[in-house]
Amino acid sequence: MLGKIIRFIFFGNYFVGILAVALTIEATVQLRVPFNSLNYYLLLFLAPTIYYTYAYNKVSTKPSTTNPRNQWYFKHKQFINYSQAVLFISCMLLAINLLYQNFDHFLALPLSYWIAILIIVTAGGLYYGLLPRSFLKFNLRNTGWLKAFVIGFVWACCANVLPLIMLKIETGIGYHDSVLWTWLFIKNWMFCTVNAIIFDIKDYPTDANRHLRTFVVRYGLRRTIFNILIPLLVVGLISLGIFASYKGFAWPLVFCNVLPFIFTIYVAYSMHRRKNILYYLMVIDGLILFKAICGIIGMQFVG
């Protein structure tokens, strides 16, 4: 029974929705801005859940004897189609309600906000090739090494840009500490990029056969771990130390923000041994949840 629940949460991408909400709450606490409405958080949970489920369902065209997630999708295809319909309708109702309550504020958004929304939506659509091929055939997933940076960018926008846009829409409050915001955005971008590179290790054989030049395909597993992942994380730790010193952060806050980097370095080092799909979904993606929790806890030590 427990195994079924775990597969439902992780194969069904509900954990992805939890990650989106967790990262947003972390960024909100760190930026010390008011929380968004419950309507927005529900929408934020549903949208990536639907997005990732649709995207994976779209690329899973044949049953696999070696991929447990693929097998789960084929076994529960009817349920997935039904749940996607229910979630999509719920998502639309929440979006309509948000638009109805804040219609005038939407129209009054500055041009820079609309440009940010357009960039995020376009990057998200291109990532899995969700835009119609008759409109645009370019798919960011097929750009190899760029894919991980695109994933990190979309997630950083989800955590650090969308909440501020919605805050402006719902309350009229803007955010003006560009130094702190830029640091947190880049930190989320790089952390999620590293996470995506680690996740690519799972798809190494498939990507190699498709000639998709991800980091692990181009440089090999060992060089990816020791020449790319661990150095990026060490640079992240050093830059965190420099920024913390510049801002005068208390040591408990610094310690809480260092922990996710330390654990990610350990997980990256352990990736020379092959893992099953649930390990990637629970542990690798779980690092993002761990980072969000640590970030939220760390802010409790700020006076």
pLDDT of residue 132: 52
- Are the beta carbons of 212 and 142 closer than 8 angstroms? yes
pLDDT, tens digit (0-9, with 9 covering 90-100), for 129-174: 555 554 455 555 555 567 788 888 989 999 999 999 999 998 888 7
- 296 versus 113: which is more confidently predicted? 296
Segments making up each domain of the chain, as ranges: 2-301
pLDDT, tens digit (0-9, with 9 covering 90-100), for 175-203: 777 888 888 899 999 999 999 888 877 76
pLDDT of residue 177: 75
- 282 versus 90: which is more confidently predicted? 90
Cα distances (angstroms) measured from residue 172 to each of 36, 108, 115, 165, 167: 12, 10, 18, 9, 7
* Topology classification of domain 2-301: Farnesyl Diphosphate Synthase (1.10.600)
- Are the beta carbons of 49 and 56 closer than 8 angstroms? no
Q: Which helix (H) or strand (E) holds 288?
A: helix 286-298
pLDDT, tens digit (0-9, with 9 covering 90-100), for 257-272: 999 999 999 988 888 7
Tell me the pTM: 0.88
The pair of three-digit structure tokens given for residue 115, joined into one six-digit string? 């440009």
Report the percent of the chain where pLDDT is more than 90.
Answer: 34
CA separation for the pair 55, 235 (Å, rounded): 33
CA separation for the pair 12, 255 (Å, rounded): 34
DSSP 268: H
